[in-house]
Structure 1
Amino acid sequence: MNIALFGYGKMGQMLEKIGITRGHQIVAKIDVDNANIDYSNIDVAIDFSTPDAAFENITNCFEHNVPVISGTTGWLSKMNEAKSICNRNKSAFIYASNFSLGVNIFFELNKSLAKMIANLEQYKVSLEETHHTQKLDAPSGTAITLAEGIIENAVYSGWKMDEVEENEIPITSKRIGKVPGTHTITYESLVDAIEIKHTAHNREGFALGALVAAEWIQGKTGIFSMKDVLNL
């Protein structure tokens, strides 16, 4: 495939490295200026840019019938508008807060566990995420997705990082060293605790998942998720 990378930071560079090993070509690397892009030579765009740039990057691709894989956070208030533009142009789109294949399996495991424990009031859930000190946002997008998965399948009404009400999920965020990302969900009662945990060993898993999604979306039209890519 011919891939355009929107955002050429650490993730963009990792995408380039792994993409080349998988036989793909990186035909564009756009960090700031997207005015002179040859969209006719692009099979798929992968966007890990900035919140300010993401919406324009993504919708410009749709208007040129280029499918988009996006992992940029901070612009999601415009998500419905982006989806509408995608559908209007008969393009294709996958957004994920985390493209790691293991994390997306973890998302589904999280939902299943929430369903099983939903009626057992003695168990109270909490969520902890740990990342490197360069990650400034908190909680992580992955932690929020996990919390939303619990809320959809149990009796909780929301989540907070500070003091929580009885029916809210407490999220603790830690920033330590160079930790790529660790997420732990604990259901605790007076007599025992049940815990599930995902630990990323490096950033390569995030880039690999985005490339797998880019390969999968070829020839498709519509709005998809990693659940579709992994047939979960």
Structure 2
Amino acid sequence: MKRLDYKTSRMVDFHQLYAFLNTFIATCQNDRIKTLFYVSESMEQLQLNIQDDVQACEFFFKKLKCCADQADHYIELEKFVIYMDLLFGMHYTPFNQYKKNLLNVIIRHIDHYFTSDEYCVIRHLIPFEQYPLEEIVEVCQSHIDQNNEANRYFTCEIYLIEGQYKQALSLVDENEFRGILMDYQEDLLRYKRRNTWQQLWKPSEFVRYQQRYA
């Protein structure tokens, strides 16, 4: 299955999130929290209403944390972490501490190779846009054998997920593209076509062409 890049993964549909959170409201005994939730008609309004109320933060955080702790796999865990990140942002202390704890747990369980599933959760537990992808991968691989074939394969997929095709191709040859990497072949082909076009039509060369045949 092709995974979403970081920015796209955070583009959660408001109605989808609202419907999910609505399943918790039936258990809520606080009328103020219910009102803040029901009057929210957009993602921005929902975020503000929750973040501005300590009790609302506490209620939804406990519910979502329980879902995350009980997640059956990393794909499901990523979804709940994204939901929490969207609702609480960077200023809710319990969520910040939870992210640190979860990050430490995942890193401790990295064994033999750093998988794309682990990566897709970790990127939401750190200030992702402040670090180069190479640095994130290097830190997560620091205690494993980085040269084994399986690890290179997963690292290639991580670069493909984030659209960094040059780095992906430096890890494996196109002939090695199989399994999950096949899902990114169309993206890779578009990259190669675009890259070839740029090489053929560099602005300086095009200007010289116009001058020569003017």
Give TM-score, length-normalised by structure 2: 0.29
Q: Per residue, is there more strand in 1 or in 2?
A: 1
Who wins on radius of gyration, i.e. which is larger? 2
Give TM-score, length-normalised by structure 1: 0.28
